[in-house]
Amino acid sequence: MDIDALRYFAAAAKEEHFGRAADVLAISQPALSRSIARLEEYYGVALFERDGRGIRITACGRALARRVERVIAELEDARRELHDLSETRRTRPIALGFYATLGVRTVPDAIRRFRAGNPDAEFRLLQGPGPLLQQRLMSGEIDLCLSSPRFADAAIEWLPLWDEELVALVPDSHRLAGRETADLIELASDPFVALKPNYGLRQTVDDLCREAGFAPEIAFEGEEVATLRGLVGAGFGVALVPKLGPSADVNAVSLAIRTPRCFRTFGLSWARGRYLPQATTKFRDFLVEALQHRERRPLPDRKKISIPPITPATTAAVPGGSA
pLDDT, one tens digit per residue, over 136-146 is 898 888 999 99
Structure confidence at residue 83 (pLDDT) = 67
d(CA 140, CA 11) in angstroms, rounded, equals: 14
d(CA 92, CA 89) in angstroms, rounded, equals: 9
Query: Does the structure show a pLDDT above 90 at 205?
Result: yes
Task: Give me the phi and psi of 62, to 5 degrees please.
Answer: -65, -40
Query: Max CA-CA distance within the chain?
Result: 70
CATH code of the domain in which 210 resides: 3.40.190.10
**Does any domain span residue 305?**
no
d(CA 106, CA 286) in angstroms, rounded, equals: 13
Number of structural domains in the chain: 3
Query: Does the structure show a pLDDT above 50 at 321?
Result: no
Which of 201, 206, 204, 205 is closest to 226 using CA atoms? 201
Residues 6+ apart with CB under 8 A from 42: 1
Q: pTM of the prediction?
A: 0.64
State whether 197 and 151 are in the same domain. no
Residue type for position 285: D
Strand ranges for the chain from DSSP E: 48-51, 54-57, 94-98, 123-127, 144-147, 156-171, 181-182, 191-195, 217-222, 239-242, 252-257, 263-271
Question: What 8-state DSSP symbol labels residue 321?
Answer: G
| 308 confidence band (pLDDT: 50, 70, 90) | very low
- The residue segments making up the domain with residue 199 are 166-260+313-321
pLDDT, one tens digit per residue, over 275-295 is 888 899 999 999 999 998 665
d(CA 317, CA 310) in angstroms, rounded, equals: 14
**Does any domain span residue 154?**
yes
Q: Please state, rounded to an integer, the average pLDDT across all residues of the chain.
A: 84
CATH code of the domain in which 77 resides: 1.10.10.10
